[in-house]
Structure 1
Amino acid sequence: MNRNVNAISGRLSLRKPQRDSLELLHRLTEILSWEKGGSKKSPDLAAALSAIRSEFPTVTDFEREFASLCFALATGVGKTRLMGAFIAYLHLEHGINNFFVMAPNLTIYNKLITDFTPNTRKYVFKGISEFATDAPEIITGDDYESKAGTLFDQLLRCKINIFNISKINSEVRGGKSPRIKRLSEYIGESYFEYLANLPDLVLIMDESHRYRASAGVRAINELKPILGLELTATPFVEGPKGAVPFKNVILDYPLGRAMNDGFVKEPAVVTRKDFSPQGMSAEAIEKLKLEDGVRMHEQTKVLLETYAREASVGIVKPFVLVIARDTTHAKSLVDLIKSQEFFEGRYKDKVIQVDSSKTGAEEDQMIQDLLAVENTESPTEIVIHVNMLKEGWDVTNLYTIVPLRAANARILIEQSIGRGLRLPYGKRTGVAAVDRLSIIAHDKFQEIVDEASKPGSVIKMQQVILSAEEAEEKTATVVSESNLKAKLGFQPENQTRSTENAGKDTKPAFDTPEKQRVAQMAYAVIKRLEARPDQAPTMEALKAPEVQSFIVQEVVAQYQPQQLEMEGVAPKIDVAAIVSETTSLVVKEMIPIPRILVVPKGEVKSWFEPFTLELTSMKFPLPSKDLWVHNLHTNQGEAVTVGNEGAREKRMEDYVVSGLVDFDDVSYDTNADLLYDLATQTVKHFLSYLPEEEVWQVLHSHQKDIANAIHAQMHQHFREEVVGYEVVISRGFTELKDSAYTAKHGEAPLDYRQSPADKSNMAKYLFGGFKKCLYPTQKFHSDAERRLAGILERDAIKWFKPAKGQFQMFYREGANQPEYVPDFVAETETTIYMLEPKAKNEMGDPVVQAKKEVAETWCANASKHALEHGGKPWKYALIAHDVIADNMTLEGLAMG
């Protein structure tokens, strides 16, 4: 594999389809015989096409007067980042210094300029060290004339021209020569002529389906670039007889594959339980859909905040997209949403209308509001649009779509999901609400489900059916800070309208704001002492006179008394007394959880040993060549046979190897020989019962499944050589992390002593009423957990359910190392317990046992540290649900 391809893929964190595209570009330059620094103009276009077509049969025509290839990647996979990878590779590998990037409209044009500008949020070259010190010069359709005088500056090695093709199109349609073709006094020729004379110009066409046959593109063809690279999610143009596919597609990564690989959100169609449009007017259906869309939005907003707080990531502000019939309809919807009758007027300042009815300053403001909708500071939560927003509107926080214009199911699917598929965190989280795009389609529900369920459909839609109660239910994110933080007067950070504070009724430990301020300062110093185990190895050590003196000195150094106290009017603050009381609170309201690091001594060597694959069960069906065509008018269907040849790897074995190196724990550089040995075994296995042509197709279509099966066997032969391990205590104790839950808005927590009526849905309830829990509220996943909490209230001094990140213990599960969060931690007079209640039939599960192993090791190391400093030992207990009963003691349960 090419060194620059590997380096760029790693530095830019390219996803597999992006890396595949970069590898294809590298192969193209080999086929075209490019050499670094030499001439790359192809004198024989027909010969170049023939050479490429022999290896990539999907490329039957360049469709240009120069070599041009299309990379068709589904929306949300990352075409802009791929552009950056293409430019970086061509510059570093082949010395290409001149690029011409075409955008189809003003929105994408502005977005590209931003993304190619250093120090912006989505900078496409972030991580490319060569560009960190010598960034490419960005020349745009707005400033190329003013920069013409510097074009020949040899210090500007890499130049990226970004132009808006719609501007050039409009100039051509006006009967004038485009401004780019007019004479420039700075360079003695037009800028167009200057570009056309460059020996190394590469043309990159973003969303190329939008302007394939336009007059502007025909003019641009005269630039005669050495290579054209097209990027689009829809590799076809609409003709009078339907879609006409591109003839130069070298890579096709459709939406269905992007969904299967988890690169985009999962689309879901939503309706109400038992909904029937019979007897309802069109206006009534429309209003119900709009209202349910907002209800779904409000639930999603809460679930997103809960996830963000649990995972310690940024809070995403979702919004709703409403598709209107026309500008008049859009205005009526805006008026409805701004009225008091629509959710008591809550959204009157949170809705914007985006369509062609705006001009001048209003249009400028509309565009600014639209582009800012992803910003958490933006008030916009509903966007009303007439024609579905097109390419270039690159947002990750669209979660709910309400289509209110007449259209068939296929158009609704195609036009609705495109803009809302991007994932806010760049990958799926495993939390349904964070990974889902909801389309409110009451009256079209079954039609959309049927359309998406047809044979050959690339989109498998989830179905969400809301009951009337669920649709009306208002939820909130309940932040449960530790009782300690609540008593010290802390408030949850980044509160939104959806945030509720579980500890709002907790009585403060200090009776004046000034004492509270000093206590919070003392707590901040104590938190810093967490990372000084030599000075404070345990919480009890905080009470030592020298540590107390240190905390007092730190607080006094930063404490600025109020003006009244300085003038002698207010009583003087006793800092030492407050520090002492704060320290006592910390010891009382926390359990001493050390931060334990197990680090290897010396050099660590790891490898996979050679082995023979078990392949007898590895059999995959040959991909069908039949597509199912369903005529919506006649309701008749038929099978149509098509070719399924696509761009091929150089060798059969490359499918297996490229699939395996996608795993994080498989390094190509150190395992290349083994990988090709395993690939050879796999190919021989398929050739033993399939014709060669069919083996190519199986390897291409089932690459991911084949790689998963081999990777699972590789782990049985993973070896690691370490001189030894040492245990490092990096923190003597750690702050209790905030917990976050989704619960019914305004509903008081249930009493933990009473079992709810619906035990099967236990996780939706919030419980309170505790005396010994270190948090005001908790959630339980089963009734057995609730009963265990009752036992802890009776037998423990203090207890709690840890939040994610509290222990930072990790166990091995295949190639992954997920975090293990135990269910309960409880302290008694003699012991600190880590407790994990589990269903009886899960006790022997390999994952449960893997968690147990890391937890027991952690407890052994924690016990050693604690006992060295006069603390209590830790003990781990895996407890079967069926033995948890009110008459059991904590000690009896822990004994097993």
Structure 2
Amino acid sequence: MNRHVNAISGRLSLRQPQRQSLEILHRITEIAPPGKEADIAAVLEVIRSEYPSVTDFEREFPSLCFALATGVGKTRLMGAFVSYLHLAHGICNFFVLAPNLTIYNKLIADFTPNTPKYVFKGIAEFATDPPTVITGDTYESGVGVREAARRQMRLPGIVGQDGVHINIFNISKINSEVRGGKSPRIKRLSEYIGESYFDYLAGLPDLVLLMDESHRYRASAGVRAINELKPILGLELTATPFVETNKGGVEFKNVIYDYPLGRAMNDGFVKEPAVVTRKDFNPAGMSVEEIERLKLEDGIRLHESVKVELETYARETLQAIVKPFLLVIARDTTHAGQLLQMIKSEAFFEGRYTDKVIQVDSSKTGKDEEEMIERLLRVEQTEEPTEIVIHVNMLKEGWDVTNLYTIVPLRAANARILIEQSIGRGLRLPYGKRTGVTPVDRLNIVAHDKFQEIIDEANRPDSVIRIQAVVIDGSELEKKTATVVSQSQLATKLGLRPALVTGSTAMAGQEVQPIFTGAQEQQVAKTAWEVIKGYENKPQMLPSVNHLKDPEIQAAIVKAVEAQQPAQLALEGFTVKPDIAAVVAKTVELVTEQTIDIPRILVVPKGVVKSGFKPFTLELDSLNYPPVSEDLWVQYLRTGEGMAVTPARGCSEEPRTENYIVRCLMDFNDISYDDHADLLYDLAGQAVRHFESYLQPDEVIDVVRCHQHEIARFIYVQMQKHYWEEVAEYEVKVSKGFTELKPSAYTCKTNGPPADYKVSPADKSNMSRYLFGGFTRCLYPVQKFDSDAERKLAGIMERDAVKWFKPAKGQFQIFYRHGADHLEYQPDFVAETESTIYMLEPKASNQMKDPVVLAKKEVAVKWCVNATEYAKSHGGKPWRYVLIPHDGIATNMTLNGLAQMYGI
């Protein structure tokens, strides 16, 4: 694979569908290099030979459509396309089309350096020389004509002679300019450059056209005018690769890659959509206005609940707090205005949303429109107050916010339109991946009156939200998979096998022959190994495996084996006594060669330990549960699973409202009621008084009783920041001088041998699919790597280390604190050289400052310090922790060199 594809994928952290799209673009430039004078028919034939879905470019230049589901990241992919075409092919000129003003402004922001979603963040070549952005507002008198004039004084026709220029235009504006057969402003003469800006662009030898949400304007007069630019390549991005007509949808003929919504949901790249209604809800007898009001109020209640859950999760995991917002879909601008006034009134939820709602539609002009768009683009920011957005039809595509969690559709429409136009706006995940926490991973659509209709539509075979069918050819179907168990080379050479082997279990390293060929010797060696493992928990007798060579230790092992052998040999039917001392000596030699001493280290308090929680004032701004109404019912559109949103009310009555919260706080393991009773009641009282500030007395009881578990967890997360502990001193205890190497297990295809670790695989987008072998110094026969950088590091260790391996889970028993949890840290590699034992952790360069990575580093460094002290006292080697950025790993690097640059 092209080095630029690898570099860009890594630097921009591309997801698999984004990387596959970039790989396709790379392949296209290989088989059909873009150029101004290309034979269009010939190019189409070449592309169709490898990508049969492309039957027609549908333009007078090569144009390809990448159909990626909403939420997967089309804008970032656009940045990857520009980066690749420039770095790999020297292309400098790009023309980007947006479907409307909202997306136009968003694209300008995303292509502007030092903005939150800058598409080139991580591309080193653009750090010092960022692309010049020219827009539909600046090309006439600003940077556009200046750059055009400057370039015309250079040698014509030289590709790559200048930096990258990205022209961003709003196709809606161009469409309005060409009405009545007029020419758009871009085609008018510019005296400054002696021709129109359009003619200047059309004359460029390397112009590439990128069309965002191309289905919105594919057949418009504006696009027909833009087509005359005759770019060398067109790249279309859309989530819906078809054009709606009176006769139905007409599919694109140039789709080269299709990643639909069903796959995105299945792969966990987007939120899980759910439709929400009330239990036993029956709209009969209710007016349209009453149903709308009910849906809107329930949407607000759900929004408040989600807001609390998001903050609790963020505090638990030390993540940034996400401020969710609610989207209301109005019938028209008049209806939107009425909703705005209602929500702003003091009578609506006590006026809590007076300053937290905006109306987004075509009724705004001038400064009002600018203010509307500015607030809309900032809606993700925590400090921006907007929590409700009312819109009519301006937000159909391209609005890539991550904090939309609740949608209330009030427009009369069929279920399919509601699904396609509503769900897509809220699918993006705020943390980039699903968290496993239901409220954080779910998009709620409040549709009391359309509930069953939406469920029926979702269950249709051709529904956009169903899991898509997977087509597998016969040869792929024949490739079976199995659980591949990779036990240590030591275990294999001793002739050991896992205790449980099923019909789907495959053993790695079967080509390795046991060191003992005779059945009697094998039995003695296994007995000797069991005796040796018994010394694991006796570090005072056997500090490390090297001490197995001590004559006294070997004699004790021989004696223990001899004591067990007569009964075992008789059981196996053997009559000739083997040379036990010789077998033990050979076993000891094998154990010392095939083991790296990993002590089990415990850091324990010495003396009396005092701990507790300091009194503090709760942060309660986001704890705004509304009065409890009837339960809301949630049904997932993809799985059909249903559940209640609010828990059932408790049947018992407490004499104090605070008791509901306190009893839930007592359920946490690290909270002692006897030691913290006063604090618990103080914190619970703060929460109750907060609810009393905006609820009626009976409403407070209902809210606390209904949400007691969520409130308690909300308080508990904040308590963690005020935990204190007093310990006179700590002491390091070593419970094991060494530990047996644990086996690993992988799911792999059984056909064919493991891949050669020395050979870079053709497809590195999913490295975990490969099982690598061919090692000579690894303590395991096969290994899996999470990245190509890890594979390269394995090559360095094969060359420079005496022995190395990738630890299995539980090998080290090192734990780090993450929020309120203590999680296990599993180092990536351990390598022993003649003088040092290294704990190696390769990481993506953009994760080096990640809080979790730093927390793991902290505990790993402490472990290495303690392990070094223990090793030195017993003649062993020091340990050293090395945190390596992935781009610092290269074949010409040495293990010692990496340790000098990145060792701690």
1:309 positional shift: 0.5
Aligned residue among 662, 686, 694 for 2:766? 662
Q: Give the direction of change, closer, same or farther, for the CA distance of 1:429–1:298 in structure 2 (3 Å limit).
A: same
The residue that corresponds to 2:644 in the other structure is 466
Counterpart residue identity of residue 87, structure 1: V
Q: 1:101-121: per-residue Cα shift (whole Å, max 9, x none)? A: 111222111111111111111
Q: 1:488-513: per-residue Cα shift (whole Å, max 9, x none)? A: xx999xx9x999899999xx9xxxxx
Contact 2:408 2:445 in 1 (8 A): yes
1:318 positional shift: 0.4
The residue that corresponds to 1:614 in the other structure is 750
Say whether residues 1:392 and 2:398 are aligned partners: yes
- Aligned positions of 1:665-814 closer than 5 A: 804=819, 807=822, 809-811=824-826
1:614 positional shift: 3.2
Q: Distance in 2 between matches of 1:476 and 1:202?
A: 61
The residue that corresponds to 1:211 in the other structure is 217
The residue that corresponds to 1:65 in the other structure is 60
Say whether residues 1:120 and 2:90 are aligned partners: no
Counterpart residue identity of residue 48, structure 1: V
Q: 1:213-247: per-residue Cα shift (whole Å, max 9, x none)? A: 11111111111111111111111111121111111
The residue that corresponds to 1:535 in the other structure is none
SS of the residue 1:451 aligns to? helix
Contact 2:178 2:221 in 1 (8 A): yes
Q: Distance in 1 between matches of 2:278 and 2:683?
A: 38
Q: Distance in 2 between matches of 1:471 and 1:384?
A: 33
Counterpart residue identity of residue 313, structure 1: Q
The residue that corresponds to 2:95 in the other structure is 100
1:862 positional shift: 9.7
Q: Give the direction of change, closer, same or farther, for the CA distance of 1:464–1:294 in structure 2 (3 Å limit).
A: farther
Q: 1:423-469: per-residue Cα shift (whole Å, max 9, x none)? A: 11111111111111000112221221121112233414155543776
SS of the residue 2:13 aligns to? coil
Q: Distance in 1 between matches of 2:772 and 2:254?
A: 31
Q: Give the direction of change, closer, same or farther, for the CA distance of 1:811–1:65 in structure 2 (3 Å limit).
A: same
Q: Distance in 2 between matches of 1:130 and 1:205?
A: 24
SS of the residue 1:54 aligns to? helix
Q: 1:790-824: per-residue Cα shift (whole Å, max 9, x none)? A: xxxxxxxxxxxx7647645325999xx9xxxxxxx
Aligned residue among 356, 363, 371 for 1:350? 356
Q: Give the direction of change, closer, same or farther, for the CA distance of 1:804–1:217 in structure 2 (3 Å limit).
A: same
Counterpart residue identity of residue 454, structure 2: I
The residue that corresponds to 1:50 in the other structure is 45
1:341 positional shift: 3.5
SS of the residue 1:100 aligns to? strand
Q: Give the direction of change, closer, same or farther, for the CA distance of 1:62–1:723 in structure 2 (3 Å limit).
A: same
Q: Distance in 1 between matches of 2:221 and 2:439?
A: 45
Contact 1:661 1:668 in 2 (8 A): no
Aligned residue among 407, 423, 429 for 1:417? 423
SS of the residue 2:108 aligns to? helix
Q: Give the direction of change, closer, same or farther, for the CA distance of 1:327–1:668 in structure 2 (3 Å limit).
A: farther
Q: 1:86-140: per-residue Cα shift (whole Å, max 9, x none)? A: 1111111111111111112221111111111111111111111111122221122
The residue that corresponds to 1:28 in the other structure is 28
The residue that corresponds to 2:615 in the other structure is none
Q: Distance in 2 between matches of 1:80 and 1:199?
A: 25
- Aligned positions of 1:175-214 closer than 5 A: 175-214=181-220
The residue that corresponds to 2:17 in the other structure is 17
Contact 2:330 2:390 in 1 (8 A): yes
Taking only aligned residues, the RMSD between alpha carbons, in angstroms, comes to 5.0
SS of the residue 2:8 aligns to? helix
SS of the residue 2:178 aligns to? helix
Q: Distance in 2 between matches of 1:590 and 1:343?
A: 53
Q: Give percent identity, aligned residues only.
A: 64
SS of the residue 1:358 aligns to? coil
Q: Give the direction of change, closer, same or farther, for the CA distance of 1:593–1:21 in structure 2 (3 Å limit).
A: farther
Contact 2:67 2:255 in 1 (8 A): yes
Q: Give the direction of change, closer, same or farther, for the CA distance of 1:201–1:411 in structure 2 (3 Å limit).
A: same
Counterpart residue identity of residue 336, structure 2: A
Q: Distance in 2 between matches of 1:369 and 1:289?
A: 25
The residue that corresponds to 1:823 in the other structure is none
Q: Distance in 2 between matches of 1:41 and 1:422?
A: 38
1:267 positional shift: 0.4
Counterpart residue identity of residue 18, structure 1: Q
Q: Give the direction of change, closer, same or farther, for the CA distance of 1:286–1:127 in structure 2 (3 Å limit).
A: same
The residue that corresponds to 2:84 in the other structure is 89
Q: Give the direction of change, closer, same or farther, for the CA distance of 1:504–1:438 in structure 2 (3 Å limit).
A: closer
Q: Distance in 1 between matches of 2:649 and 2:117?
A: 37
1:75 positional shift: 0.9
The residue that corresponds to 1:427 in the other structure is 433
SS of the residue 2:336 aligns to? helix
Counterpart residue identity of residue 175, structure 2: N
The residue that corresponds to 1:305 in the other structure is 311
Q: 1:375-411: per-residue Cα shift (whole Å, max 9, x none)? A: 1112111112223622232211100001112222111
Q: 1:537-592: per-residue Cα shift (whole Å, max 9, x none)? A: xxxxxxxxxxxxxxxxxxxxxxxxxxxxxxxxxxxxxxxxxxxxxxxx96548996
Q: Distance in 1 between matches of 2:733 and 2:683?
A: 25
1:18 positional shift: 0.9
Counterpart residue identity of residue 112, structure 2: T
Q: Give the direction of change, closer, same or farther, for the CA distance of 1:421–1:203 in structure 2 (3 Å limit).
A: same
Q: Distance in 2 between matches of 1:48 and 1:382?
A: 49
Q: 1:290-334: per-residue Cα shift (whole Å, max 9, x none)? A: 111111111100110011001111000001111122233223322
Contact 2:748 2:771 in 1 (8 A): no
- Aligned positions of 1:345-494 closer than 5 A: 345-387=351-393, 389-460=395-466, 461=637, 463-466=641-644
1:609 positional shift: 13
Aligned residue among 143, 164, 184 for 2:138? 143
1:22 positional shift: 0.8
The residue that corresponds to 1:729 in the other structure is none
Q: Distance in 1 between matches of 2:373 and 2:382?
A: 17
The residue that corresponds to 1:757 in the other structure is none
Q: 1:276-303: per-residue Cα shift (whole Å, max 9, x none)? A: 2233333322222111111111110011
Q: Give the direction of change, closer, same or farther, for the CA distance of 1:436–1:813 in structure 2 (3 Å limit).
A: farther
The residue that corresponds to 2:835 in the other structure is none
Contact 2:98 2:212 in 1 (8 A): yes
Q: Distance in 1 between matches of 2:458 and 2:37?
A: 45
Say whether residues 1:111 and 2:106 are aligned partners: yes
The residue that corresponds to 2:265 in the other structure is 259
Q: Which runs of 5+ in 1 are unaligned?
A: 35-39, 509-523, 528-584, 601-606, 617-655, 672-677, 679-706, 727-735, 738-801, 818-853, 869-896
SS of the residue 2:384 aligns to? coil
Counterpart residue identity of residue 171, structure 1: E
Contact 2:95 2:168 in 1 (8 A): yes
Q: Give the direction of change, closer, same or farther, for the CA distance of 1:106–1:860 in structure 2 (3 Å limit).
A: closer
Contact 2:312 2:713 in 1 (8 A): no
Q: Give the direction of change, closer, same or farther, for the CA distance of 1:288–1:663 in structure 2 (3 Å limit).
A: farther
Q: Distance in 1 between matches of 2:146 and 2:126?
A: 23
Contact 2:362 2:394 in 1 (8 A): no
1:348 positional shift: 2.2
Contact 2:112 2:133 in 1 (8 A): yes
Contact 1:265 1:435 in 2 (8 A): yes
Counterpart residue identity of residue 54, structure 1: S
Q: Give the direction of change, closer, same or farther, for the CA distance of 1:125–1:660 in structure 2 (3 Å limit).
A: closer
Q: 1:41-79: per-residue Cα shift (whole Å, max 9, x none)? A: 244211111111122111111111111111111111111
Q: Distance in 2 between matches of 1:394 and 1:261?
A: 19
Q: Give the direction of change, closer, same or farther, for the CA distance of 1:42–1:471 in structure 2 (3 Å limit).
A: farther
The residue that corresponds to 2:542 in the other structure is none
Aligned residues: 581
Q: Give the direction of change, closer, same or farther, for the CA distance of 1:275–1:476 in structure 2 (3 Å limit).
A: farther
SS of the residue 2:269 aligns to? coil
